[in-house]
């Protein structure tokens, strides 16, 4: 087996924190004799800032991290995301959604108070009281059933719209899938877990889920390491990989680190930021220790 290609993929919406440092060191260590790549997930133009991008690179270097090749910035990848959406559209698994957040919330409330709720089955799957995903409550499917004429008219009228995955249709196309996690073993994919997720946001034309899948394949990532909070997303990512004919990487979802020590050590409001530790005079080794890797990517985690 060839040595793994891993990546660290921060979003430059703020300064690098201890949790990010843990994720970055984890990915660099997992690469071993392979390659460790860096990707800036900067699709969200409203929230990402060049100064955070620069600060993240600087903090990573200060921590002693070195990555292979140039940094891939998702803001340069719109054409690839569009091509992926076109491919999904050709498979008939996308539909335009005109709902606002408010309308979705109202629809969920309405359905929830109806004698026979119509929202997705299996409430509590994420340990929460209702069907939710990391993106919020599962979409109740309002725009999925629009008749062709209604859809055309709405598209002509709307200033913009989102593109959602028809998860049930996608499930029918991909059949049974599983993904492999180095810590948790093989998991059977539940294509309905995140519901009809948005793949093309109205404002930016793509989404975290679509971009991450397209770019992991484009960068040849063979081992995706990331926090366990993203485990549910991997179900959707496996479906997208199958639909788009992309290779399925291996995964290692690691537990998120405790930040109690950081909060005690740094007194600023941004208490877990690597900057704060730097300003308080901690050494890279001390900060790496807080992030669980005192000896850097080649050492053992503590
Ligand atoms: N950009 C995501 C984050 O900062 C990480 C995505 C991933 O590792 O798949 O949380």
Q: Which of 11, 71, 210 to mutate to test the pocket of ligand 1 (most atoms within 8 A of CB)?
A: 11
What share of the chain has pLDDT > 70, as a percent? 87
232 lines ligand 1 (CB under 6 A): no
Here the tokens at position 152 are 């055309």
For the Cβ of 9 lying below 6 angstroms from any atom of ligand 1, the answer is yes
Residue 126's pLDDT is 34
Residue 216 scores a pLDDT above 80: yes
What is the whole-number distance in angstroms between the Cα of residue 281 and the centre of ligand 1? 29
- Determine whether the shortest distance from the Cβ of 41 to ligand 1 is under 6 A: yes
Cα separations in angstroms, 182 against 158, 211, 256, 270: 45, 23, 16, 33
Domains 1-76+257-302 and 78-251 share a fold: yes
If you average pLDDT over every residue of the chain, what do you get? 90
Q: What mean pLDDT is predicted for residues 78-97?
A: 98
Cα(7) to ligand 1 centroid in Å equals 10
**pLDDT tens digit string along 55-68?**
999 999 999 999 99
Q: Look at domain 1-76+257-302 and name its CATH class.
A: alpha beta
* Ligand 1 atom nearest to 226, measured from its CA: 8
Integer Cα distance of 90 and 33 in angstroms: 40
Per-residue pLDDT reduced to its tens digit, 88-123: 999 999 999 999 999 999 999 988 765 543 333 333
Domain assignments of the chain as residue spans, ordered by start = 1-76+257-302, 78-251
Evaluate if residue 253 carries a pLDDT over 80: yes
Query: Closest Cα partner for 243 from 141, 75, 43, 94?
Result: 94
Confirm if 7 and 40 have CB atoms less than 8 A apart. no
Q: What is the pLDDT of residue 135?
A: 65
Task: Give the H or E element holding residue 72.
Answer: strand 72-73
pLDDT band at 268 (very low <50, low <70, confident <90, very high): very low
Is residue 138 in contact with ligand 1, taking CB distance under 6 Å?
Answer: no
272 vs 211 pLDDT, higher one: 211
* CATH homologous superfamily, domain 78-251: HUPs (3.40.50.620)
- 236 pLDDT more than 80: yes
Tell me, what's the pLDDT at 125? 31
23 Cβ neighbours under 8 A, 6+ residues apart: 8, 10, 225, 226, 227, 254
User: What is the percentage of the chain residues whose pLDDT exceeds 90?
Assistant: 81
pLDDT at 124: 31
| Highest mean pLDDT of the ranges 80-94, 247-261, 268-282 | 80-94
> Which atom of ligand 1 sits closest to the CA of residue 225?
8
Q: Give the residue, by CA position, lying nearest to ligand 1 atom 5.
A: 9
Instruction: Name the pTM for this structure.
Output: 0.90
pLDDT of residue 257: 86
């Amino acid at each position: 087996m060839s040595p793994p290609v891993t990546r660290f993929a921060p979003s430059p919406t703020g300064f690098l924190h201890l949790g990010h440092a843990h994720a970055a060191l984890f990915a660099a260590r997992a690469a071993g004799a392979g390659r460790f790549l860096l990707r800036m997930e900067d699709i969200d133009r409203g929230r990402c800032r060049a100064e955070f991008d620069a600060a993240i690179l600087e903090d990573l270097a200060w921590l002693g991290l070195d990555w292979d090749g140039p940094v891939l910035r998702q803001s340069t990848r719109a054409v690839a995301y569009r091509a992926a959406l076109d491919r999904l559209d050709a498979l008939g698994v996308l539909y335009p959604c005109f709902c606002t957040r408010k309308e979705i919330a109202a629809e969920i409330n309405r359905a929830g108070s109806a004698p026979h709720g119509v929202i997705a089955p299996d409430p509590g799957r994420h340990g929460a009281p209702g069907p939710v995903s990391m993106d919020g409550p599962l979409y109740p499917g309002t725009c999925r059933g629009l008749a062709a004429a209604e859809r055309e008219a709405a598209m002509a009228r709307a200033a913009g719209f989102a593109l959602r995955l028809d998860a049930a249709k996608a499930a029918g196309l991909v059949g049974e899938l599983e993904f492999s996690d180095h810590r948790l073993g093989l998991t059977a994919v539940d294509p309905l877990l995140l519901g009809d997720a948005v793949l093309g946001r109205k404002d930016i034309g793509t989404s975290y889920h679509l971009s991450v899948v397209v770019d992991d394949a484009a960068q040849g990532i063979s081992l995706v390491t990331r926090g366990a909070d993203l485990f549910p997303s991997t179900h959707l990512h496996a479906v997208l990989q199958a639909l788009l004919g992309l290779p399925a990487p291996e995964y290692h979802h690691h537990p998120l680190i405790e930040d109690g020590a950081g909060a005690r050590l740094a007194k600023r409001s941004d208490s877990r930021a690597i900057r704060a530790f730097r300003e308080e005079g901690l050494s890279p080794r001390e900060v790496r220790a807080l992030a669980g890797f005192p000896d850097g990517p080649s050492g053992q985690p503590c």
